[in-house]
Amino acid sequence: MSSVETIHVDGEWRGAASGAQREVLDPADAKTLAVVSEGGADDTDAAVTAARRAFDTGSWPHTPVAERAALLRRVADLLVRDREEIALTESRDTGKTLAEGRIDVDCVADAFRYFADLVVAEGAGRVVDAGSATVHSVVVHEPVGVCALITPWNYPLLQASWKIAPALAAGNTFVIKPSEVTPLSTVLLVKLLAEAGLPAGVANLVTGAGDPVGARLSEHPGVDLVSFTGGLTSGVKVAQAAAPTVKKVALELGGKNPNVVFADACATDEDFDTAVDQALNAAFIHSGQVCSAGSRLIVEESVRERFVAELARRAEKIKLGRGTEEGVECGPLVSAQQLDKTEAYVASALAEGAVLRCGGSQPEPNEVRPAAGYFYAPTVLDGCHREMKVVREETFGPILTVETFRTEDEAVALANDTEYGLAGAVWTKDAGRARRVAGRLRHGTVWINDFHPYLPQAEWGGFGKSGTGRELGPTGLAEYREAKHVYQNLAPEPVRWFAG
């Protein structure tokens, strides 16, 4: 992909109004992967204007539900058709393995199909009993309007689908701004929307930096909703910018996710192997660049030493390299900035007394791991405690911290001691304990004896500073709607409140 015309407004591809461009780098070797348009405030305003016109005077908001659902299913079919091309683009752009890229495409197709099925299965509205045979009262749902969709760099295609699919299913128009670091798969997705027959102006795309593009979308008076996935600091800015226009805001801001392992989950060799394997997956998939990564291992003291020793032994064997290479298990970090942050977090942890069990540095280059790439070895830090910066802040890198507990109450207290509340897991063979702990964890998703799976029909989002609102599930569709109560008096007559 080399075209610089990556801004899509009112059905047409164009370059930035300023003529500005940006190089997109391959994180495996820091070479230029593509050149894209670097949009600005003028491009953003043009995109919002097109989306506003398409919503206010266009056909899409009034298109029958069955037709909207049919278009979503066509998009899913096109994703399946282009699976290899899109997966390769996602792998090269983000650094993740090609296998992960393929899974992402499959999950995106599932999301489009889910929301298509959801809207078709709904009734025409919820009838409300007004207590009178001469009154017909119903609550209906309508599209919210023009949606600003701002997506992150770690799962650009997946996060775009979680917003685009329900927005379209509900009848909205939108402007999407992908991360300037990883915009390429979003460009491909918007092209598929057009191929599927989406009317011009419904889907608009502006590639560019958070400031000015994301900032302008958040404050724009022509936008009715802004849905943002990204870091806490940027999310707060989005909410502040949106406040004066009182638009709807949905924020998914990441997490610091506990993976709690009780000793009985390691009772047999098979149990032990499974718990260790899942702890590795929780922490190091996509080099830890996952908002729900299990970056905090909280393990019962009696099994701690054996568990951590085996975890570190396996982590050292993870095969790092370019994500498209055969046999590679983990790719690079997405950027030089992310590599610098990872190094800084590890340095701070060691300065605060953490014990390095493995990793802690960039690996030696080899035939699948170019020297210029942003690689960092999977790192296990033992002897950690809740006051450490690396334990409290979202690192978004291949760093796993280890804390220990003796009692169930202590385990829960540690797991909940975070300003975030996105996801967490508990490992135990005791069904009663599993339910108790899951019920006490203040996190939006809780896994029992598992880590990372999600379902498009189940809501995703978090407590605390992990954000507001939910994606996926029926609530994920409701985010893109307004409820309207229609009260019809079938036999109107004078009220006679006023005597005259």
CATH number at residue 241: 3.40.605.10
| Within a domain: 111 | yes
| Within a domain: 461 | no
In this structure, the answer to whether residues 391 and 297 fall within a common structural domain is yes
First to last CA, the chain: 75
In the chain, the number of structural domains is 2
| Within a domain: 496 | no
User: 32 vs 92, 181, 308, CA distance in Å?
Assistant: 11, 12, 39
DSSP 157-181: HHHHHHHHHHHHHHT-EEEEE--SS
pLDDT in the model for residue 3: 59
In this structure, the answer to whether residues 307 and 393 fall within a common structural domain is yes
| Within a domain: 498 | no
Number of helices followed by number of strands (H, E) in the chain: 15, 20
In this structure, the answer to whether residues 249 and 262 fall within a common structural domain is no
Distance CA 435, CA 453 (A): 18
Name the residue range of residue 421's domain. Answer: 258-448
In this structure, the answer to whether residues 236 and 139 fall within a common structural domain is yes
Residue 239 contacts by C-beta under 8 Å, 6 or more apart in sequence? 249, 251
Its sign, for the CA torsion 226, 222, 14, 75, is positive
Which residue in 190, 161, 173 sits closest to 48, CA to CA?
173
- Cross-strand bridge partners of residue 426: 260, 448
In this structure, the answer to whether residues 203 and 95 fall within a common structural domain is yes
Distance CA 331, CA 286 (A): 7
| Within a domain: 491 | no
3-class secondary structure, 380: strand
CB 481 within 8 A of CB 143: yes
User: 167 vs 160, 171, 207, 210, CA distance in Å?
Assistant: 11, 7, 19, 21
CATH no. for residue 277?
3.40.309.10
Residue 312 contacts by C-beta under 8 Å, 6 or more apart in sequence? 357, 358, 380
Q: What is the pLDDT along the chain (500 residues), one digit of tens a residue?
A: 445 899 999 999 999 999 999 999 999 999 999 999 999 999 999 999 999 999 999 999 999 999 999 999 999 999 999 999 999 999 999 999 999 999 999 999 999 999 999 999 998 899 999 999 999 999 999 999 999 999 999 999 999 999 999 999 999 999 999 999 999 999 999 999 999 999 999 999 999 999 999 999 999 999 999 999 999 999 999 999 999 999 999 999 989 999 999 999 999 999 999 999 999 999 999 999 999 999 999 999 999 999 999 999 999 999 999 999 999 999 999 999 999 999 999 999 999 999 999 999 999 999 999 999 999 999 999 999 999 999 999 999 999 999 999 999 999 999 999 999 999 999 999 999 999 999 999 999 999 999 999 999 999 999 999 999 999 999 999 999 999 999 999 999 999 999 87
In this structure, the answer to whether residues 171 and 197 fall within a common structural domain is yes
pLDDT in the model for residue 395: 96
In this structure, the answer to whether residues 86 and 117 fall within a common structural domain is yes
In this structure, the answer to whether residues 139 and 235 fall within a common structural domain is yes
pTM: 0.96
Please, where are the H alpha helices in 19-64? 41-56
252 in catalytic set:
yes
| Within a domain: 54 | yes
Question: Which among 252, 300, 310, 459 is annotated as catalytic?
Answer: 252
In this structure, the answer to whether residues 169 and 269 fall within a common structural domain is no
β-pair type (399-405, 258-261): unpaired
In this structure, the answer to whether residues 221 and 264 fall within a common structural domain is no
| Within a domain: 455 | no
In this structure, the answer to whether residues 238 and 356 fall within a common structural domain is no
| Within a domain: 301 | yes
In this structure, the answer to whether residues 379 and 472 fall within a common structural domain is no
